[in-house]
Every structure is written in structure tokens, then in C-alpha cells.
Structure 1
Amino acid sequence: MECKVCLEPYDDSHKRPRVLPCGHTFCSPCIRGLVQDGYLPCPTCRTEHVIPGDYSFFPIVFEFEELLNRVKHTRGTPATSSSSSPSSVTSSGRPRRERGSAISKKLTNLKVEQESSMCQSTSACVRMRRQLAMYKASLVEWEREHRQLAGDLRRFVQLNEEVERLLAREREAVERMQLEGVDKTQQLRTARRTLIEVRSSQDTFDALNHGDFAQDEAEDWMLKCREAFPGVDAVRKSVKVRAATSKAVSQMFRETRNCSDVPLTPAEERYSDIISLADIFADQANSLTDPDPSAEESVSECLAVPQESVSDSLCLADEIVSEPIHVAEDSVFEAVRVEGSEADLVTDGEDADGGEGAEDDSTILRKVRHIQFTATVDLTAESLSLMREPVRAMLEAGEVYVVQEGQRHVRSAKLSLREDMICLHHLQEKHPPALARTISYCEVEAMLDYSYALTFLELAWPGSPPRRVYIRLSPDSGRGRQFVMLCSGEKGHSYANTNFLRVKNKGLRGECLQGGDYNFNSGVGGHNIIPGLACNGEYKRRDVTGSVGAVYTNALNGAQFYIRTRGRPAVNRFTVFGQVEKGLEVAAAAIALQDVKKET
């Protein structure tokens, strides 16, 4: 028999027969030559077989070799005589088949059938071995993934331990402040008793001075508390890690509840259901508003206020009025309206000295609740565009900042909310406040539609609060983009803190306010930051009231702009890139000033 590829007979040394998983047999050299990039296409049925190693992966058909050897041996042995001598017949009289004699056709057919069946079994074994090999590879990969997950879990545990240490340091700082507060409270009580018991004028003056000193000390202590607590980093990390851990653990126990033969402990059972973040925050709020009854005595001691002191101004209000709370430079926290009984730790009755209980300053608790409310929010361009709670609350509080990271410095700018519009202020070379939530400048910039962008200039001069002029840039143009970049400070230079330069045609048609020299603030600068800006029909507009355009067209002064307060509709201008949409009266008021250069 011969190979179907090279048409040469098989042998038991070089051209040994090997069987493919599809059941077809070829010699070893041909199989080796057919292997390409780990695949072997069968020349007969075109089935592609994956080879994890070399051609020796396909087994040798030993039965086929044995059959070939027998055939060769039979062909090489001369046929014996079929005489009916006594030694050549069996006891039943049938001819005896001598060893090495020719095989009958029927037996040959049986051998061929058996060989084919064995080839199929061999192929089935090879396929099974391949499945076992693939299954083993899957098991090895799963073991690797479990080791990696175990490492991730260990890092997760380490993160929890790190937050625990952070909270422990925060708690120790609070305890130190509590002890200091007990001292301040005792000083106030002592000063009050002295003030009550004095009988002479000199003693009264001394008691008043002592009382003023004690009150100043107490005020300083309370100010330190407001500035030090809450630790934004500790609270925010704690909220995030607890929320993520609770969610992950509850999901893990819910999904793997029936995977272990060991019953869950009561502590583990509580994670069998999904824990919502709302429940977590509700528990946190309760922990803040419902103090431990065992601590009532110490709390009362710290919060009690003398009855004879200015109690009219310190009486417990029914509710706490919303008020701005300054938490960091350039950042204002807006307190929410909450019921006094819910927000504050209040003492009932009188203290040992007869003074009525009073509410504590709940600024710290408000900050804590606000951090809890916003800590788990993913601040993205999408969440900004939807502007749902608590993103709106963060914008209203002035806590959202964009960050532009450079090679040598970090620049940031505040995002504020005004008339339901998100306003991007100019970038400055400083880090955002500690309480701020940040988003990349690139993400915010991607939200900007240059074909209909709305920018604002905030004008201020002595005796007047900052007022805004809103300018709509339409359509999309190079000069409009340059104006946006200089308003935001994207490229480093900015119109911020520059003065207006002059008023042209004051009181006449064509009156306008000119500015934009960010280089020298004198009128000789204002270089283009976008090269190649032209003066063509793209900027051709009627010179109407409220139009905004470039004062010059050259590259050295091309960033200077004007705001037209009295139009000339009959005249065409070729540098107009925007129109005042709101606040034109602010520009008119600026023109009315005696010295326009005092405006910024």
C-alpha cells in the first residue's frame, strides 16, 4: 500500500503511516511537509487540524504497519502444496492452514475491516486526548485567574485596612479635639460662675475680661474644629470603599451561595441580598443624627450653654437656615435645609450649672453628609450633560473643577452653575481645592459645540460687583475658536485680569469697547494664538449693536476684540465672529465710566 500524497509505499522506518483526526492516513514525511503555522489541512477531506507540537503529534498506525509487514512476508513466501497428507489435515478432515501460508480473501476482508475500525478508534482516542489537553489548558488558566483574583482580593483587603488606619487617625484627632473642647467648656463655666458671683466693680471688670478670654479661646477651638473636620480624604475614601466592598461582597455571596458545602455564618448571611447605596447612606445619616444614648451625658456636658448668657441669640431654632459655608479657597459649600431635630445633636433639660441645652454647630455634619452624597458619583462628561442630582448639587456648591495636566505643572478651573448653564471659568496654575471633584479638561472641551458656543466675560470695576456679558459665537470660525481659547486659558494665555484699552466713538454711532491685549495690557500686544487667521467673507456681517469682532487683522494684534454698543447697520465689517446675547447693558455701563482702563 502507498501514501496518497507521494504515491510511495509505506515502510517501518522512514515512511511510517500516521493517522489524522479525520481518519485519513499518510506517511510521516508528507505530514511533516503539510504542516503550516500550527495547522495541517487534510489532502483528502480538506479538514484543518490544529497541531500543538510538531507532526509527531499524529500517532503511528502500528496495526497498519503490522498488516503491511504480513502482506510483504506473505508475498515473499512460496505457496505450499495443498496435499492431503495426514499432517496437512485436521482431525475433522479439513485442510490444516500452516503458519505463514496465504490468507484467504474472507480473512483479508476481515483484517481490512478490523484495521479500518481500529483506525477510527485511534482517531477517536486522538480527539479525546486533544479535548483532554484543551480542558487541562482551561484548568491551568482558571487556576491562574483564581490566583490573580486572590491577589486582587488581598489588595482589596489591604485597601480596607489602609482606610481603617486613615479613619483611626481621624478618630484620634477628633478625640484630641473633644478633650480640648471639654477644657474650653469648663473654662466658660468657670468664667460664668465668677461673673455671677462678683460683687465689686473691679471684680466685675476682671470677670468680664476673663469671660472674653474664655469665649475667644472657645471660638478659636470651634474654628479649628470647622477647619480640621471632616477629613475629606478619610470620609470620601471610606464611603467609596465601603460602598464598593458591600456591593462586591453581597454580589459574591449571592452568586456563590450554593458553591460551598460549608454553611454561611450569620455575619455572611447579611450579604446574601444586594445592599443598596441608599440604605448605606441612610444608615450613615442615622449614625450621625441618632447618637449613642450612653454618650448623652458627655454630649450634654460639651453642648450646654449658660442660661444667663446671650440666650436670645443662641436659642434652638425650629429649622436650620441655608447658609454658605466656606470650606476652602475659591470654593463655597451651600448647606441644605434640614430639620433641626434631624441635623443636630441637641441636649434636653439643663446642665449641672442650670444652663439650657443648645444645639451644636452642625457644619461638620453637613459637610459629612454632602461628602457621602457625592463621593460615589462618577463625574463624567455624560453626567455633567445630564446634570442630575447630586451633580447639580456639586455644581451649585462650586465643588467641580476641571484639571489640565501639563508636563511641569497642573492647571485647574472651576465649573459653576448659573441659570441652568454650566460655566467654565479660566484655567489657573494651581491645584483644585481639597473638597473639589475633578474632571479632565479634555472631557469638558469635547462637550463644547464651537458652531454655537456661548462664552462670557466677567467685567468688574471699583464700586461694582462682577457682572457678565454673554457672547454667542456663530458660526464656527478660527477667530471664534481663538476667542474661546483665550477666555478659558487653554493654551496658557488668557483674557482674565486684563483691562479694557479704550472706548471708540463714545456717544456716537459705531461706539464700541475695545480690549484683549493679554500680552502687555497696553494696546500693543494681543498676538494671535492660532496662526493664519484670515480676513474674508467668513466674517462679513452687518455692524449692528452687540456685534463682537477683531479690532485688527494682523498677527501681532489679532486677539484684540471690540464689543459694539451702538451699531451702524449700513456698514459691513469683515472681522465679526460673535454677537452679545445677554449683558450688553454691562458693556454700556463700562463705557460710561470716566476711566475705562480701570475695568478688568
Structure 2
Amino acid sequence: MDDNVEDCPVCLITFNETFRRPRNLPCGHTHCTFCINELKEQGAVTCPTCRVSHALPEAGQFPISYITESFIRKMRGLASVVPKPMKQLTASAPVTQPAPGATAGLSKKTRSLLQEQEAKILAAICSCQEEQSQLADYLITLGGWDGHQQQLEDELQMLVDQSKGARETIRREKCRVEGRQEEVRRREEALHAALQALRTPATRHKVYEVIDNTDNLLEEEERVTVFPDVHVVTTVNKVAETSRAALQAATATQTAMEAAGNAAAVVQGTPFFLRAMRRPPP
């Protein structure tokens, strides 16, 4: 741990300025935001290092360890932080370059603050682009589920009602994802606008105003919804499993009826066949 102070001691992943920001617990130990959120239980968090339990603050989050972030940035060097996310930006969302001399009249410390905020904005933009890619893949998966459910309806008419329910859930989820794509696009545009604003302030007062605005945008980025929706995935999988089980039961019953080759088998097998198809989801 002492040799890798830039890593969270729980997940061993390097701290960053988006979803794994370092946060200080009252006992003095520092862990990333993700790990602390995972440790929340009944309004308290038990420190994984010293096992002391701490009540959650009213804001719901422990304070960010700015000194840890500054130390990590100093270790890496600003020159190695800024170019990396810029290489990942797509051609559809170009990043404007700062106007020559736009910040020439500002102090070195003030320009350093602008550079730090720029690095945060660039990281958030890359996060938006990665999320767009993940959402697009998720839509393809949802489309595959939709087609599979339609096939199950064709094979087993008695399960049409359940399959239609599952398809309606998928349709709503697809609409939600498409709406989320538009939301992410608007967020990315706002981040680009904030990035441009960071590069053109002319006064110290304007600098701090711009930094406050970008901090609000970055806080919104930390509250993004996780996809896919576990409830949707569980519901679709349960309906699919029930459909397969019913189809297998119907096939087995039909085979037994043909092997028996008598009326008794038909009388005894038909109710079983119907019960198998009408079995509710587990």
C-alpha cells in the first residue's frame, strides 16, 4: 500500500477524478468513492483498514481528499494527464484548442487551476463517449432479446401473454436507453461548453465562477444511472426460462403420449401438458 499511494487500498485501482475520487473517513484513512459506496450499510460505513464504523454525513458522502488528488497529479505531472483523454475523443465531438494568449494575463496559480479543471472535463467527456458506446451495445442486446421472445411465442402459443409482457418490458427499456442517449449527448455538449469557458476567462472572478459551474457538471456526472437495469434483465431471463421449461415439458409429454399409443395416455398427459404451459414464473 505504501508503494502505491495513488491506488485505493481496497480495490487496488488508481484514484481518478470521476467515479473513483479519493474520500477521507473520519478515522483518517482514504478510499475511493466506489468502494465507500459499496461499504454503506444502514447509514454507516466501516473502514476496511481499521474497522471503525462511521455514520454517513448529512450530504450522504464523506469529504473528497483534495490533497490526495493534488499529490497524485503532482506525481503524474500535468503534461501526462491532459493529452491522454484528448486522444480518446471521437471526431464527432472535437475539442477546441484554447485561444492564443486568452489566459496570458492570469497568474500561474490561476492558470494551474484552469488546467486541473480542463483535465477533469476531458475525463468526463471520455466517460460520456464510453457510456454512449456501452448503451449502443446494450440496445443491440435488447434487440436480440426481443427477437428471441418473438420466437418463443411462435413455438408455444399458450405462453404468448407472458412473452408479450416481457417484450413490453424490453420496449420500455429500449425507450429509456434511447432517451438516456439523448441525455448523455446533452451532457457532453454542456461539458464541451464548460471546457471552452475554462479556456477563455479574463478575470480572477470569472475563473472561480467558471470553476463552480464545472464542479456542478462533474457532480452530476457522478450521479449517472447504471445500465443495464437488473430488474429488466431478471424479468426477461425468468420469462425465457419459464418458456423453455414449458416447451421441454410439452415435448416430453407428447413423446410419452406417442410411446404409450392409447387413450389413457392422452387423458393423463393432456392435463399435465396444460399445467406445464401455465406454470407461473419462478
Identify, as 1 or 2, the structure richer in helix.
2
TM-score normalised according to structure 2 size: 0.31
Name which structure has the greater RCO, CA cutoff 8 Å, separation 6+. 2
Identify, as 1 or 2, the structure richer in strand.
1
Highest CA radius of gyration, 1 or 2? 1
